[in-house]
Amino acid sequence: MNKFTEQEAQQLIAGKLTRYFGVSPSEASREQIYKAVVMSVRDIMLEKRQAFHLKMKKAKAKRVYYLCMEFLMGRSLKNSVYNLGIGKPLSKALKSFGVTLEDLYEEEPDAGLGNGGLGRLAACFLDGLATQNYPAMGFSICYQYGLFKQKIVDGWQIELPDVWLPGGEAWLTQRTDKQFIVRFDGELEEKWTDHGMETVYYNAREVEAVAYDMMVSGADSEAVSVLRLWRARPVQKFDMQLFSQGNYAEVMRDEGEAELISKVLYPSDNHSEGKSLRLKQQYFLVSASLQCIVSDHKRRYGSLNLLPEMAAIHINDTHPALAVPELMRILLDENYYEWDTAWNITTATLAYTNHTVLAEALETWAEDLIARRLPRIHGILKEINRRLCDDLWRRFPGDWDKISRMSILSHNTVRMANLSIVGSHSVNGVSELHSEIIKNSIFRDFYEYTPEKFTNVTNGIAHRRWLNQSNPELCALLNDCIGEGYAKDASRLAEFAKFDKDESVLKRIGEIKRIKKEQFAEYAKKKQGIAIDPNTVFDVQAKRMHEYKRQLLNALHIISCYNALRDDPNLDVLPKTYIFGAKAAAGYDMAKQIMKLICFLAEDIRRNPDPRIREKLNVVYMENYNVTMSEALMPASEISEQISLAGKEASGTGNMKFMINGALTIGTLDGANVEMAERVGTDNIFIFGLKADEVDEVWRNGYNSSSYYNQDAELRRIIESLIVGFNGCSFAEIANYLLRKSPVADPYMCLADYESYTRTQHKMSELYRNDPTDWNRKSLRNIAAAGYFSADRSVRDYATRIWGLKRLDK
Ligand code: 26W
């Protein structure tokens, strides 16, 4: 493999410094050294990719193309150095430049090209694919601004632009040989030509898509995954006529409009806004990617007849669903296929994953918007829909309700989920529970129509990033006990379970957690000037801020603890620090209100004059939670809060990151928590609350939050406290939300689950205080049971059961 020696590394880096920055090693700034190192590491990966590419070509290997509007990559240097196995020579080489590798890691901005779970999953998958030598490419957009930078001013979230490219660009390789024209607007005309009836598309606005590649090396493998990011720019033909007529403004406007497409990532997670620019982004991604895939395929194999045998194209959530009509357009208009053949090729190539059941997240577009912006795509959608409805009519004669629910076009809306299902040969959810729910509720009609399409692939995480790289201390213990094999085969973590009676191992687990807590406390001090006492228990909820994830339920319990301590500051309770990290979608008012409540509650406690209270209860809201912060936080956590209303969290992946780092979960039977409980055993996880079917039942019978309020004095006291407020601010609005909001009070049933939650919290505190050894034993069992939740296993499931992909080393 293309590794290097210390001397070679030194020369490579010094060479970059002279050629790209005109400085000698002794003059170079840390930033310049960082960039020179990135360029050197990138070169190694480009070479490695080329070798793998050759192998793919020779083997005529099938490839997967993963289309996703988000790839939440975080930092790349540490991961690349680890995966390439070049840490030692590089560290030594850097001595002569007067910096350490750790210093350089800190120079790198996060590539925050995603919102949350969906985007981080896509990033984890690229790692799993490369490590197992699967031929894979991700496609997304090269957003100039990634997910906003969060500032919290007086408890209120402010969004600032995320300027990542100055430091992140060094990873990108511009591919001037990969450029495609994407067309919007314009008009259609049908014409008779040599190919029969042809649809001609004219007067379109054209935008050019230019590729920027980012390499993701596998760990100790031959493969490198490529993430191809499209940047939009005006087509390089200047409208001279407009310009010479003196229409400068119009010319410049067109230029600006083109670039707008890849300007910024939409910050909304689980809520579809239906904005025209977002539609343009989606089509831009889909059209550029498919043109690229198709042209590569044709260069290699001549025609598109073999596309399904050689390419698996994945639609990650419905955001790239226009891949269905776009592939049809390319087959029909540019390659003159008959409709039926084109349709068979399309559906055999595409597969779709659903990542959420929330109604407000299910995407629909106004049909007239699509008709205007994408007239040809609209025409194809109408024909897909016509044929679908014909077939449904044959299968379910007279069942108009069903047919109207299943149609793609209805009442001036285009339903992207229906389109994705109809246009794919496979539809999957991301945990067992979620996959059952989609079959039985949101996609029930489709499940009855084509049951063979539906399947499950439970999510997984890049465990080398989340365990090996983030927690070397824990890995040292694992290596002592079970060797290093788990890095490439996470199922071997199970061998760690044998040590659950070994007192010295259990003790070391506690010591390691303590070290990671101290490190995080230092990090929080440095980042935010906040003091965290590592002697307290770290109870952490880190994920996007959303009503269904119920950060509010957590807050209600903290308020009750605070009340108890205000009543009796001498109360003998387990000292805890509650840590939150979460961004809210910019326009999501309720989420921002909950954030404000937590921040004001935190401040109220911090300002409490009684040190006996402050010593036992601390609340910390970490600002700007992102991948890099997460890597510091997961290993330091002792309690993992996974408390969504059952049936709402498709899977969760943070839950897996906490688990593999030995945190104990307090959670509902939701998403992947269900499978975590099955694997670790119910004695080692703290499950509470209504189950998904019980939630449905309570809902059917009419949920009334007041009945819980009336029966529970503790709850009444908490609501009172909300109204009185914290740090001088009343939160009566939240009290109202829980009890009186129309049309429903407490839509995510915090009050229904409160008693069970608080009881379970107490149970955990008792265990922590009374039997720390048993706590560590449970922690050990969680680590040992986490292997299944590796992205390596997830992508293997996709590869064998959905994509029909083979490893290139087997
Ligand atoms: C169009 C607005 C929008 C944006 C993003 C709608 C929906 C999304 C995503 C699908 C939301 C998301 O990230 N879902 C999360 O996906 C993870 C990976 O499968 C799961 O682990 C989480 O449970 C799920 O919430």
> Is the distance from the beta carbon of residue 650 to the nearest atom of ligand 1 less than 6 Å?
yes
The verdict on whether 653 is a catalytic residue reads: yes
Q: Is the dihedral of CA 736, 740, 743, 746 positive or negative?
A: positive
Confirm whether 195 is a catalytic residue: no
**pLDDT of 1 higher than 50:** no
Going across the sheet that includes 617-622, the strands are 617-622, 576-581, 537-542, 639-642, 664-667, 686-687
Q: How far is CA 379 from the centre of its chain?
A: 33
Describe the strand order of the beta sheet including 364-366 as a list of residue ranges: 364-366, 413-415, 409-410
64 lines ligand 1 (CB under 6 A): no
Bridge partners (DSSP) of residue 227 are: 138, 214
Distances (CA, A) of 627 to 138, 466, 793: 19, 10, 22
Mean pLDDT, range 675-696, rounded to an integer: 98
For the residues 493-506, what does the mean pLDDT come to?
98
Distance CA 684, CA 687 (A): 9
Q: Which of 64, 36, 41 is nearest to 217 (CA)?
A: 41
Which atom belonging to ligand 1 lies closest to the Cα atom of 120? 18
> Ligand 1 centroid to 650 CA: how many Å?
8
Closest to 786 (Cα-Cα) out of 692, 686, 675: 675
Cα gap 595→721, rounded to integer Å:
17
Evaluate: CB of 271 within 6 angstroms of ligand 1. yes
High-pLDDT (> 70) share of the chain, %: 99
Mean pLDDT, rounded, of the chain: 97
- pLDDT for position 534: 98
Distances in Å between the Cα of 119 and the Cα atoms of 35, 116, 123, 218 are: 25, 6, 6, 19
> Is 507 one of the catalytic residues?
no
For residue 202, count CB atoms less than 10 angstroms from its CB and return exposed for 0-12, middle for 13-18, buried for 19 or more.
exposed
Nearest to 744 by CA among 773, 688, 711, 702: 702
* Catalytic residue from among 347, 356, 653, 668: 653
In short, whether 765's Cβ falls inside 6 Å of ligand 1 is: no
**Burial of 267: CB neighbours in 10 Å, binned 0-12, 13-18, 19+:** buried
Closest residue CA from atom 22 of ligand 1: 652
| Model pTM score | 0.98
CA–CA gap between residue 808 and residue 810 (Å, rounded): 6
Task: Check residues 596 and 237 and name the one with the higher pLDDT.
Answer: 596
List Cβ neighbours of 268 (8 Å cut-off, separation of 6 or more).
115, 585, 586, 587, 588
Tens of pLDDT, residues 153-186:
999 999 999 999 999 999 999 999 999 999 999 9
Residue pLDDT, tens place only, 320-340: 999 999 999 999 999 999 999
- Which residue in 439, 366, 375, 445 sits closest to 405, CA to CA? 445
- Per residue in 515-545, pLDDT tens? 999 999 999 999 999 999 999 999 999 999 9
Query: Which residue has the least CA distance to atom 13 on ligand 1?
Result: 118
Catalytic hit among 48, 62, 319, 543? 543
User: How many angstroms separate the most distant Cα atoms in the chain?
Assistant: 90
For residue 237, pLDDT beyond 70: no
CA angle, residues 611, 614, 617, in degrees to nearest 5 = 150
Q: Is 543 a catalytic residue?
A: yes
Tokens for 227, please give them: 């993430």
What single string gives the DSSP state of each residue in 355-374? ----GGGS-EEEHHHHHHH-
762 token code pair: 């107490």
What is the model's pLDDT at position 429?
98
Q: Is 450 an active-site residue?
A: no
Helix count (H) and strand count (E) of the chain? Answer: 35, 24
Say if ligand 1 is within 6 A of residue 121 CB: yes
Report the distance separating Cα 483 and Cα 496, nearest Å.
10
**Which amino acid residue places its CA nearest to atom 10 of ligand 1?**
355
Neighbours of 509 (CB within 10 A): 22
Contact 93, 13 (CB under 8 A): yes
Report phi then psi at 469, rounded to 5: -80, -35
Residue linked to tokens 């100055």 = 166
Average pLDDT over residues 391-414: 97
Q: Residues 7-28: pLDDT tens digits?
A: 999 999 999 999 999 999 999 9
pLDDT of residue 220: 97
- Asked if the model's pLDDT at residue 668 lies above 50, the reply is yes
Q: What CA–CA distances, in Å, run from 696 to 94, 271, 342, 369, 734?
A: 59, 22, 42, 36, 24
User: Which residue reads 């603890």 in tokens?
Assistant: 561
546 is annotated as an active-site residue = no
- Band the pLDDT of 2: cuts 50, 70, 90: low
Q: Strands 187-193 and 196-202: what pairing?
A: antiparallel
Reply yes or no: is the peptide bond before residue 743 cis, omega within 30 of 0. Answer: yes
pLDDT at 233 over 80: yes
- Reply yes or no on whether the pLDDT at 451 is more than 50: yes
**So what's the pLDDT on residue 379?**
97
Q: What string of DSSP letters covers 578-619?
A: EEEE----TT-HHHHHHHHHHHHHHHHHHT-S-HHHHHHEEE
CB 38 within 8 A of CB 79: no
* Closest protein CA for atom 17 of ligand 1: 117
